[in-house]
Amino acid sequence: MLLLCNYYVTYRCNAFCEFCHFGNHENFNNTPFAKLEDFKSNVKQLADLGVKFIDLTGGEPLLHKDIHLMAEFAKGLNMQTSITSNGLLYPKFAEKLAGKINLLHFSLDSPDEEEHNKIRKVNCYSHVLKSLEIAKSLGEYPDILFTVTDETYLKLPRMHEIASKAGLMLIVNPVFSYFGNPGLSEKALDFLEEYVDGKMNVYMNSGFIKLRRNGGNDINDPLCKAVSRVVVISPYNEIILPCYHFGNERILIDKPIKEIRKTERLKYLQKMEGRFDFCKGCTVNCYFEPSFAFPTNSYAMASLSSKFKYGYNKLVKQKIQKIINPKTGKL
């Protein structure tokens, strides 16, 4: 059952993060944006197929001039929408996006401005803080997304302090291993688990940590549902299979997606999900989040408490945020 669409609206990015290999900088001006008409056609079809969540991603998704129209369209189909941004362009789109994004995340990689800007290779620390304030003033309840590496995990308490002062959730996103990145050490994982335990406004998916400690995806007993529960669409109007990170097949959307999903080739890829050689040891969060969507194994069960905590904070605190006077900070 399809649950999630990762829709890459562009590969362009205005940051150069050390741990990221998504953004296309070499051919920046020749990298296309997803066409709005293609987006609407594809997303309508996906909604009809049962997709409930759509991540508008990139690159930097706010580089797309129609991002607010995309969010509005998906929201109108009762999809849960999400965007993660570096904050540089959010002030430009803030009012247009207000009320259209369920999960609005701003990336902050360090509590130290100099270190954050060094990691991103662009001066965006102040833009993140400004974007958080703008979002809150519009009645939004954004999250701070902290992508943790072995070089930054000890900064977690200070990141937590920033989130607490802002009255927001801190999402701890342990960097995963891919493209030569080794991921996190056991020492870092130990520290993260111990610190996050019992803290209500810090979210880290416990299932991800369990998966990492057990060596990642086992190709002989795969956990990944990257093909059956996720659909990845590129700015070139292609479905990328079996997943974006290790995608080696691209299918042009020149026929109904429902028909593409029924082809023998896609059925084969679904049968092989998590079983390819490159799937060995995989811990890519984007695909294990929907793979753990139902409590069908110990990893899904491990995820439940952290998901409950996040859901509680989003439901309760977001309601409070909507009735706070942005000028006085009081109810």
**What is the per-residue pLDDT across 140-162, written as a single tens digit (0 to 9) for each?**
999 999 999 999 999 999 999 99
Look at residues 5, 3, 1 and name the one whose alpha carbon lies nearest to residue 243: 5
3-state secondary structure of 57: strand
Q: How far apart are CA 284 and CA 174, in angstroms?
A: 10
When pLDDT is averaged across residues 112-130 and rounded to a whole number, the result is 93
Residue type present at position 99: G
Q: How far apart are CA 207 and CA 306, in angstroms?
A: 9
Of 40-44, 175-179, 268-272, which gets the smallest average pLDDT? 175-179
Residue pointed to by tokens 């590129």? 234
For residues 210 and 231, what is the distance between their CA atoms, to the nearest angstrom?
25
Number of Cβ atoms within 10 Å of the Cβ of 279: 23
Please give the pLDDT value at position 1.
83
Q: What is the predicted pLDDT for the residue at 308?
A: 86
pLDDT digits (tens, 9 = 90+) for 185-202: 999 999 999 999 989 899
Is the pLDDT at 179 greater than 70? The verdict is no
Which carries the bigger pLDDT value, residue 301 or residue 239?
Answer: 239
More confident residue, 188 or 27: 188
* Terminal C-alpha separation, the chain: 42
pLDDT of residue 24: 46
Query: Residue 285 is inside which H or E element, if any?
Result: helix 285-291
Domains of the chain from N-terminus onward:
4-322 (3.20.20.70)
Residue 187's H or E segment, with its range, is helix 186-196
Instruction: Decide: residue 59, CB within 10 A, 0-12 exposed, 13-18 middle, 19+ buried.
Output: buried
Alpha carbons within 13 angstroms on the beta-carbon side of residue 2 total: 22
For 205-258, how does the pLDDT look when each residue is reduced to its tens digit (9 = 90+)? 999 899 999 989 999 999 999 999 999 999 999 999 999 888 789 999 999 999
Whole-angstrom distance, CA of residue 6 vs CA of residue 230: 7
Report which DSSP code applies to 232: E
Tokens at 1, concatenated: 């059952």
State percent of the chain over pLDDT 70.
89
**155 touches 144 (CB < 8 A):** no
Report the Cα 149 to chain-centroid distance in Å: 17
φ/ψ (deg, to 5) at 100:
-110, -5
DSSP at 3:
-
Provide the H-helix boundaries in 30-173.
Answer: 36-48, 67-76, 90-97, 113-120, 125-137, 156-166
What's the confidence (pLDDT) of residue 119?
A: 87
Whole-model pTM: value is 0.91
Q: Give 222's contacts (C-beta < 8 A, 6+ positions apart).
A: 273, 274, 275, 279
Higher pLDDT, 166 or 1: 166
Query: What's the gap between Cα 186 and its chain centre?
Result: 23
Distance CA 110, CA 61 (A): 22
Question: Do the Cβ atoms of 232 and 244 come closer than 8 Å?
Answer: yes
Q: How far is CA 65 from the centre of its chain?
A: 20
CA dihedral 49, 60, 184, 158 (to 10 degrees): -120
- pLDDT for 325 beyond 60: no
